[in-house]
Amino acid sequence: MKKSLSFLLVMLVLVAPAIAQKTYKGLPVIEATSKVADYKVGTELVKGNWSVSPQIAIDVLKVPVHNNKVKFTFYTDSDSISFNVKPGKSNRFYVLLNNKDYALTEIKGFGFEALEFNETNKIPAYTMLYEQNDGNMYLNELRAKYNLDAIVAGAANDTEKALRMVNWVHKQWEHNGMNQPSNPDALTILSEVKEGKQFRCVEYGIVTTACLNAIGLPARTMGLKMKEVETTEFGAGHVLLEVYLPDLKKWVMLDGQFDVMPVLNNVPLNAVEFQQAIANNYKKLEIRSLSGADKAQYVNWVYPYLYYFDVKFDNREGVGFPRETVDSKKSLMLVPVGAKQPKVFQIHNPIEYCKYTNSIVDLYQAPVIKASATTAKK
């Protein structure tokens, strides 16, 4: 018996170094042969939403922590690593891709906090322009070519129309964050989709916005940016849209890439209301989606982007006509009270196109409808 026990102890000593965690530059290493990775936050598994990127200096994944800590597991096609994530804390490791390239990966925990904006101002400081669909040749072509009226036929209300339209656009192509269309307008994008091309969040926003404008619901694309937009090298922004629903007399957020509409107490939310609902009413918050988008997965992914919000001053549809600006700026950015006004996007790209405001009313005024300077598509 003693001899058998001694032999077992010797074998454990010999095997232990072989199964010990590999390290590189003092950090753990896991291996991969595919760039696509999965991860689990608590019990929520997120599949195929992470790309291993050795070319990025530090690839940061922000992980939501609703309590003091959450168990996190990162899976490659051949390896995994687990640890507890805490708000405000980071865990770093390397992914060794194809036994050749090291990708430094940082998992950063964050909590949830409602942003503060100026809600005392009642009169907008700026005027934004929105499309009227009467006689707009561009929108009429889009509406007829893709039979948009059939998509919303029989809808009980404007909310249902919006849900049907964002679902239709969502199904037109699979997301590809590396492709851009030859021209950033809905007709061009949908034409190139027919050729087999796939596009970014930007294009989901553009197409859904145009389709809603075509059926008479004023809509606008919206850029979201992280708090660390100036210092994050990659993935610091996301594009979605908002639509004004006349029967509710309010702006409502839609995300074409994920096919979602946020709702609280049966009332659809705009992007700022959504941010605050995540922080203050997460249990009651609902994600409506005709394709069944998962609430936890979407909220956890999008929350870090809900910090800066920018929209164009001139949201009319068509191509080939001059857009109106304010002091030569094409967009208005809503900035939280006390936050920095960002001047750079992802380290290298100057933000030279924005006016800044802290006032909610500036962003959420009712639409001012104005005909396009030209309604013909070139």
Region 185-189: mean pLDDT is 97
Nearest partner of 222 among 274, 183, 286, 264, judged by Cα = 274
Instruction: Quote the CA–CA distance of 288 and 248 in Å, as a whole number.
Output: 17
pLDDT classification of 269: cutoffs 50, 70, 90: very high
155 in Cβ contact with 164 (< 8 Å): yes
Question: Average pLDDT, stretch 28-43?
Answer: 94
Residue 292 binned pLDDT confidence (cut-offs 50, 70, 90): very high
3-state secondary structure of 197: coil
pLDDT, tens digit (0-9, with 9 covering 90-100), for 209-239:
999 999 999 999 999 999 999 999 888 999 9
Burial of 196 (0-12, 13-18, 19+ CB in 10 A): exposed
Q: Is the pLDDT of residue 21 over 60?
A: yes
User: 66 or 108: which carries more pLDDT confidence?
Assistant: 108
With 60 as the cut, is the pLDDT of residue 307 above it? yes
DSSP 214-255: HTT--EEEEEEE-TTTTT-SS--EEEEEEEEETTTTEEEEEB
Q: What average pLDDT does this structure show over 310-324?
A: 92
Q: How confident is the model at residue 371 (pLDDT cuts 50, 70, 90)?
A: low
Identify residue 13 by its one-letter amino acid code: V
Show the CA angle centred on residue 158, arms to residues 155 and 162, nearest 5°: 85
What integer pLDDT is reported at residue 4 of this predicted model?
Answer: 53
165: Cα separation from own chain's centroid: 18
Q: pLDDT of 134-170, one tens digit each?
A: 789 999 999 999 999 999 999 999 999 999 999 999 9
Percent of the chain with pLDDT strictly greater than 90: 80
Q: What is the mean pLDDT of residues 280-300?
A: 93
Does 124 or 13 have the greater pLDDT score? 124
Q: Are 213 and 131 in contact (CB under 8 A)?
A: yes
Q: Is the pLDDT of residue 17 over 80?
A: no
The per-residue pLDDT for 2 is 46
**pTM confidence score:** 0.78
Residue 111 pLDDT grade (very low, low, confident, very high; cuts 50, 70, 90): confident
Q: Which amino acid is at 42?
A: G
Is the pLDDT confidence value at 22 over 60? yes
DSSP one-letter string for 19-44: HSPPEETTEEEEEESSSEEEEEETTE
Contact assessment for residue 354 and residue 310, using Cβ atoms and an 8 Å cutoff: yes
Cβ-proximal residues to 73 (8 Å cutoff; 6+ apart), any chain: 39, 40, 80, 81, 82
Higher-confidence position of 192 and 68: 192
User: Tokens in use for 121?
Assistant: 């101002």
CA gap 42, 64 in Å, rounded: 10
Strand partners, 359: 118
What is the DSSP track for 61-129? EEEE-SSS-EEEEEE-SS-EEEEEE-TT-EEEEEEEETTTEEEEEEEEEE-------B-S--S-SS--E
Max CA separation in the chain (angstroms): 93
